[in-house]
Amino acid sequence: MKVDVLAAEIGSTTTVVNAFVGMGTAEPRLAGQGFAPTSVLEGDVTVGLEGAIDHLKKNLKTEELTWERFLASSSAAGGLRMTVHGLVYDMTVRAAKEAALGAGANIHQITAGRMRRTDLKKLVELKPNIIMIAGGVDYGERDTALDNAEKIAELNLGIPVIYAGNIQNHDEIREIFLESGTKLYIVDNVYPSIDRLEVLPARRVIQKVFEEHIIHAPGMEKIRSLVDGHVIPTPGAVMEATRFLKNELGDLVTFDVGGATTDVHSVTDGSEEISRIQLSPEPDAKRTVEGDLGVYVNRMNVYELADKKRLSMRTGLPEEALEEAVQALPPVPQTDAEKKLVGELTYTALKIGLHRHAGKYRDSFASGGKKTMAEGRDLTALKYIIGTGGALTRLGIGPELIREVFSDGHKFDLLPPALPKVLIDQTYIMASLGVLSTEYPEDAAKLFEYYLEDRN
């Protein structure tokens, strides 16, 4: 059997391969899926990929399988690990952070101002995939970024560096890293002027650098022997899908609740009313990562943050038995009792993730009296909410949980006055469709329309 495109999602524990047919026609479709444990720990990720392909063959009832293109997203080998080093946290550092997160990175270190010896020591220990240096608006402060660049270059880490700061530093930055032999990428300033963010060029380069260098990560060296198209970070693929859908549907937010983290992606222009009282600029596409909110690996963190009375009432378990029951949960819930418990943990992860992602109304006091201002992400213009990840797609109650979370929103959060429509990624292919949208936008649009289930 021959299919048009294979799209793999290589996770930390599981590899999923999706086969698509009918590309370029009026009805592109998902032909089948295959699953296998990710084999990055064995030193060769292609073992897991081949296992998922074998499973796909069984599901398709074919002994031979060929394809035209093979694309992939990956969060294996630690995903895309980055560090970000800027000037002032609320300005250039925040802008660089927005660029990195939106590209699908996991940020392991953030520094503001001149890096200290302890900062440099931590950088060496972290061994990130990419280092980003920013700082200074264009034609503004120059010395901090140059000083940080010199210190990083002296470490001779062999790690690619992206410079996204003051345009006046370009020549000096090239000289600094040329001498050290470091691979350097120079992009537009992420904070070119006061109250202006330009994060999209940096995001594109971050994904490009990830694709060029991921094959050097442990266990990933042979990925190119199977994958002949794009390889982008899985969270970046979900963001690509969310950005793509914004053009199709309007302002939206995507929740991805997993075993270890909860990711929230929003693409929205916000409302004119809020923009008039906004304290600082926000990017058009924003991702927040709640590394402490997961319904398996980090389930005890979620339990500690949960409303124990609600948890007891909804699950029928006495409060004194809750902790032991949460600790005993398997990776995939099997019984109704386990599913209820995971559902409540998912509710808590959603609620906290939304509260941390959404902006807030703030009261300020001046000589003219009290004024209400807005700070952070404006979600008041949302039209759609998308749920993906195992918890929201497999429990069967994802839409109800999402609607309840929005109904229970904090009164100071910048949330929509009416509940947006809820769509569920029932076939769990959003990351694959995000990768597809970079090369097959028309087919991706049709696939999104067909597979995103309207659960209103």
State residue 433's pLDDT score: 93
In terms of Cα–Cα distance, which of 364, 381, 371, 418 is closest to 272? 381
At residue 379, the 3 state secondary structure works out as: coil
Mean pLDDT of 141-166: 96
Looking at residue 106, its amino acid is N
State residue 456's pLDDT score: 56
Q: Where are the domains of the chain?
A: 2-77+217-229, 80-213, 242-454
Cβ atoms of 286 and 377 within 8 Å: the answer is: yes
At residue 258, the 3 state secondary structure works out as: coil
User: Cα-atom radius of gyration of the chain, to the nearest Å?
Assistant: 23
Name the band, by pLDDT with cuts 50, 70 and 90, for residue 41: low
Identical fold, 2-77+217-229 and 80-213: no
Helices (H), 230-334: 234-249, 272-275, 299-305, 308-315, 319-327
Model-wide pTM > 0.95: no
Tell me whether residue 318 is exposed, middle or buried, using C-beta atoms within 10 angstroms of its C-beta: 0 to 12, 13 to 18, 19 or more.
Answer: exposed
State residue 166's pLDDT score: 97
At residue 62, the 3 state secondary structure works out as: coil
State residue 213's pLDDT score: 76
What CATH number should be reported for the domain whose range is 2-77+217-229? Answer: 3.30.420.40
Q: List pLDDT tens digits, range 255-287.
A: 999 888 899 999 999 999 999 999 888 898 999
At residue 305, the 3 state secondary structure works out as: helix
Looking at residue 235, its amino acid is P
At 12, which helix (H) or strand (E)? none
Cβ atoms of 261 and 294 within 8 Å: the answer is: yes
In terms of Cα–Cα distance, which of 36, 104, 43, 46 is closest to 75? 104
Given a cut of 60, is residue 334 above it in pLDDT?
Answer: yes
Name the band, by pLDDT with cuts 50, 70 and 90, for residue 51: very high
Q: List pLDDT tens digits, range 371-429.
A: 889 999 999 999 999 999 888 988 889 999 999 999 987 778 999 999 999 999 988 89
**C-alpha–C-alpha distance, residues 235 and 213, integer Å:** 17
In terms of Cα–Cα distance, which of 443, 445, 438, 455 is closest to 20? 443
What architecture does CATH give domain 80-213? Answer: 3-Layer(aba) Sandwich (3.40)
Name the band, by pLDDT with cuts 50, 70 and 90, for residue 454: low
CA geometry: angle at 377 spanning 290 and 106, to 5°?
Answer: 30
Cβ atoms of 252 and 383 within 8 Å: the answer is: yes
Mean pLDDT of 437-443: 93
Give the dihedral of Cα atoms 404, 407, 409, 413; nearest 10 deg.
Answer: 140
Report the percentage of the chain scoring pLDDT > 70.
95
Q: List pLDDT tens digits, range 1-28.
A: 999 999 998 876 788 999 999 999 999 9
Q: List pLDDT tens digits, range 65-84.
A: 999 999 999 877 667 889 99
DSSP assignment of 115-155: PPHHHHHHHHHH--SEEEE--S-TTS--HHHHHHHHHHHHT
CA distances from 438 to 188, 236, 441 (A): 22, 11, 6
Average pLDDT value for the chain:
91
Q: List pLDDT tens digits, range 217-256.
A: 666 777 877 888 888 888 999 999 999 999 989 999 999 9
Cβ atoms of 10 and 48 within 8 Å: the answer is: yes
